[in-house]
A and B are shown apart, each in its own frame.
Chain A
Amino acid sequence: QSALTQTASVSGSPGQSITISCSGTSSDVGGYNVVSWYQQHPGKAPKLIIYEDTKRPSGVSNRFSGSKSGSTASLTISGLQAEDEADYHCCAYAGSRFRLFGGGTKLIVL
């Protein structure tokens, strides 16, 4: 299986909203409640911010929200802040512990 498709980079100004997309197929992203998103600051470990397409783990800001339409998932960050500048990785669970990641999107806060 090929990696999920993500835009290489996206940018926005503080206070704005941005959306990062993640495209796959009906066998991965299109599955029921299988998409998750991770935030990764430079030199740091990834951090889970969205799971089961739309759920936020405890402690994650409600400025982060997930959605999905068909085989394309989206991560929206509202009220952009400087500390949101990071890489964002989408992931789709395809069963039998197998998970497929996207190539990552670099968010630049202007």
Chain B
Amino acid sequence: EVLLLESGGGLVQPGGSLRLSCAASGFHFTTYAMSWVRQAPGKGLEWVSSVSGGGGNTYYAESVRDRFTISRDNSRTTLFLQMNALRAEDTAIYFCAKDYCSGTSCVNDYWGQGTLVTVSS
């Protein structure tokens, strides 16, 4: 059974930092790219960032580029998201998700339950 368990969310002041973690199990972690997707309160989903299976290739939404850093530790089957210079608009539930890529597209076939990040003074 695929399990993804996020942690590290909480309340942080504007301009502050937070590091999210996602512990993965139930699949061969190294084989798959992983992503972070967020959902602001009462809003739709927003893709944030993805990392390749080996960790060497990273991808970011424009809204978080240069502030957020995605990484993974394959020896510990854990995904991370380092978030710096946080803004009020970063307030959201952050979901960790496993990628499934076919020849034409990538989707997220398994999701964690999410961790809430609140940016407020």
Contacts and interface: CB of A to CB of B under 8 A. Distances in A.
A93 B105 contact: yes
Contacts of A52: 102, 104-105
A97 B95 contact: no
A98 B61 contact: yes
Chain B interface residue number, banded: 20 to 34
Contacts of A97: 33, 35, 50, 59, 99, 106
A34 B44 contact: no
Contact of A93 (B37, B46, B107, B114): B107
Interface string B85-100: 0000000000100011
A62 B113 CA distance: 25
Interface string A72-101: 000000000000000001010100111111
Contacts of A44: 113
Name the residue in A38, A57, A97 with the highest tally of chain B Cβ atoms < 10 Å from its Cβ. Answer: A97
Given A45-B111, A45-B113, A46-B95, A101 B47 contact: yes
Interface string B104-118: 111111011110000
B112 to A, nearest CB: 6
Dominant SS at the B interface?
strand
Interface residues of A, number: 28
Contacts of A89: 44-45
A33 B104 contact: yes
Nearest to A48: B109
Given A45-B95, A45-B114, A98-B59, A38 B45 contact: yes
B102 A45 contact: no
A96 to B, nearest CB: 6
A25 B104 CA distance: 17
A51 B105 contact: yes
Given A3-B46, A33-B102, A46-B37, 15 more contacts: A34-B105, A45-B95, A45-B112, A46-B95, A46-B111, A51-B100, A51-B105, A51-B107, A51-B109, A52-B104, A93-B105, A93-B107, A97-B99, A101-B47, A104-B44
